[in-house]
Structure 1
Amino acid sequence: MSMRDSYIDTSKAILIFLVVFGHFLERCIGYENEASNVLIKSIYFVHMPAFIFISGMFFKGTDLVKKIVYFLSLLIPFQIAYVTFESIISQSFSLGWLVKPYWILWYLVGMIVWTILTPLLKKTEFPVLISVFLSVLVGFSPVDNYLFSIGRIFTFLPFFVIGSLYGKQIVNAVKSKKVYALFGFLALISIGLISKYGNIESGWLYGSLSYKQLGADYLAGSLTRLTVFTISFVGIVAILAVIQLFKDKFVDLGQHTLPVYLLHGFVVIILAHFFKFHDDFTIGLIVSFALTIVTCILLKLDIFEKMIKFISNVQVKLYEKM
């Protein structure tokens, strides 16, 4: 599989669209509306686990320091930018963001930790099993699992490890037969039904809280986390199978997911102040979908990619001079 694989680019395009769409739904309609609740949970079961799985696929255990510096070169300026932006919008400031990556930026912290942990796990006999064990174990933590995003980092660790070890084989398998797309579609419908009837609260899908914070004892918490992990993994395989139906569409968006990911938060925060549809799901859904399309089309433009590269390069060069 080449580094510039159109199938993967299409997958990334669909996933980044779901990331942005989920955030618009959450901010513009919210969880109080039952239909919105089900749709958001269905998206959250799959979108970030699949994104992390694909990130793992392209992970190479070389130049680790360079990779860590690169992720820090994005995390630091965007953390400052988002906290400043939020403070202006809300007209209040909290020092809590010194120990908590701002909203969407936890993924960058995750990439730093996964970059360090994955080569170590690969040296063990059972890397996937150990990563799943750590995913369950972090829920036992007595401290706030939101601190430094430790909850999410370890909850989603197995997806990165599985992607790194078996990702290319899984993708090649699911795209080998058209019938797998049908099975994938049925699996995604099943996840929708689980979101509606499965009695799994949305907090479990974020992976950011301990079992105690989620109001569960250790046994129930462990079983729920394993259940969510299993559903999400099935969702990853399903969505990768369904990508066959898109026939290499949206490749351009898939090649520019980083600027969309890093910048869409600003757009969502601003627009969510003007578009509130808590009582009208249909209009809210249409508007959120339209805003997602426009956001993705604009943020995938080369100017934003170049801006992010410039921001990153300035800091990387500073590090190299140290």
Structure 2
Amino acid sequence: MQKKRLSWVDVTKGFLMILVVMGHYPGELDFPLATYIYWFHMPAFFILSGMFFKPILEKGVTKKVIHKRFMQLIVPYLFFLVMITVVRYGIEIGSGNFDISWYLSDLWTLVIGGRFVRGAYGVFWFVTTLFFAYLVFLWMTKYFNRTKQIAILVAFYLIAHIESLIAMRLIGGGPAEASQTIPMLWNMDVAMMAVVYFALGYYMKNIWMDITKPWLIAGVIGSVAAISLDWFNIIDYHLSMKFLRYDHLVFDLVIPLSFTLVFVGVFQFLSSYLSMNWLRRIEKHSLSIMYLHIFTYIVLKDFFEYGFIEFTIFGIIVPIIASIIIQKLVPHGKLFLGGFSPKKSKTPSTQ
């Protein structure tokens, strides 16, 4: 049962990672694929992460749990941040950029992170947001009962939407520029929205673990209805967690949940008949793919003709190769790829 569960989860995450790559294609497409991908793919990752959350029931283990998550999330974040930055600065120096002020300004932006880093660092916000969402939910489940937890989540959800209204309506302009007028380290404020999806993964775990036919039908209806309303210009819905764009109090829950129900349900069904190992392999290297697919494009675009298909293929294959090299050749390579596992304390044998 455990192997079957892990199989469909890995397959689903592998597919979502492909969508992450596709969603960052910089060119124009006839079909609004990126818009629909952004409707659900980031919330789906938070939902799937919440499914495996374990509340702390024992005393004295909180620090160990937080340390484990820090090593699994923030250490790889710092590793890829430094690695990409070293290469970038090497390219800048090679092209004749010796402006110290440029490097200091760039380094300060990297320190702030979140929505303020663009280009090669475009996806870095997700990991820090996930880390803070985890910490917030850990705190909630440790000190509050379910009723109070839900009340806190409702408050976070409303505050997140108020912040979005301030950015999108009062400040105005493009979502990226508007959201960057609100200073915040590592997109910690986005954790208010992320923890809601994270909690839905945890609270609805029994539903997610076995999507029944009624739930799958409900997801299909919600997804088809949303696309139809958008297609006929009845709604103009967008969701960008990174840039604080939350368009609708109801749709921001219904649409991501509907699409996630569909894809989880479909991959649960397919995984019971097909191995789909290729998606599991993609998931195995998902951290490298997430961090490196945009940087791959930046480095290779001057050497290859880049269309949507090429962007997707290179954005998956090159990071997988990099992931294998890091594991094999870099000291503590598995640690830098999120493979931290705390050593189990040995209990002395009694005679």
The answer to whether the 8 A contact 1:74-1:311 is kept is yes
Which residue, 115, 125, 146 being the options, matches 1:125? 146
Deviation at 1:303, TM superposition (A): 3.9
Deviation at 1:109, TM superposition (A): 0.9
Where does the alignment leave 5 or more consecutive residues of structure 2 unmatched? 57-63, 115-120, 167-180, 343-351
Deviation at 1:98, TM superposition (A): 1.5
Please give the alpha-carbon distance, in whole angstroms, between the structure 1 residues aligned to 2:253 and 2:91: 36
Larger radius of gyration: 2
Q: Residue 160 of structure 1 aligns with which residue?
A: 198
> Deviation per CA, 1:84-105, whole angstroms, max 9, x where unpaired?
4445557654222221244212
Deviation at 1:112, TM superposition (A): 2.0
Instruction: Kindly tell me the number of residue pairs found equivalent between the two proteins.
Output: 287
Please give the alpha-carbon distance, in whole angstroms, between the structure 2 residues aligned to 1:207 and 1:287: 27
The answer to whether the 8 A contact 2:288-2:320 is kept is no
Where does the alignment leave 5 or more consecutive residues of structure 1 unmatched? 215-220, 278-283, 318-322
Deviation at 1:137, TM superposition (A): 0.4
Letter in 2 for 1:131: L
Deviation at 1:140, TM superposition (A): 3.2
- CA separation of 1:180 and 1:242: change in aligned 2, threshold 3 A: farther
Q: Residue 311 of structure 1 aligns with which residue?
A: 336
Which residue, 89, 94, 98 being the options, matches 2:111? 98
Letter in 2 for 1:228: D
The answer to whether the 8 A contact 1:151-1:207 is kept is no
Deviation at 1:77, TM superposition (A): 2.3
Letter in 1 for 2:190: R
The answer to whether the 8 A contact 1:13-1:254 is kept is yes
- CA separation of 1:230 and 1:184: change in aligned 2, threshold 3 A: closer
Q: Residue 224 of structure 1 aligns with which residue?
A: 248
The answer to whether the 8 A contact 2:76-2:335 is kept is no
**RMSD of Structure 2 on Structure 1 (CA):** 3.5
- CA separation of 1:77 and 1:6: change in aligned 2, threshold 3 A: same
Matches within 5 A, 1:1-322: 2=2, 5-23=6-24, 25=25, 27=26, 29-30=27-28, 33=29, 35=31, 38-62=32-56, 63-70=64-71, 71-87=73-89, 93=103, 94=106, 95-101=108-114, 102-122=121-141, 123-126=144-147, 127-141=149-163, 144=182, 147-167=185-205, 169-174=206-211, 176-177=212-213, 184=219, 187-196=222-231, 197=233, 198-201=235-238, 205-210=239-244, 224-243=248-267, 244-245=269-270, 247-249=274-276, 250-272=279-301, 284-292=307-315, 294-295=317-318, 298=321, 302-305=324-327, 307=330, 308-311=333-336
TM-score (normalizing by structure 2): 0.68
TM-score (normalizing by structure 1): 0.73
- Percent pairwise identity: 20
> Deviation per CA, 1:284-316, whole angstroms, max 9, x where unpaired?
3333344355347646x6444565424379999
- CA separation of 1:266 and 1:185: change in aligned 2, threshold 3 A: same
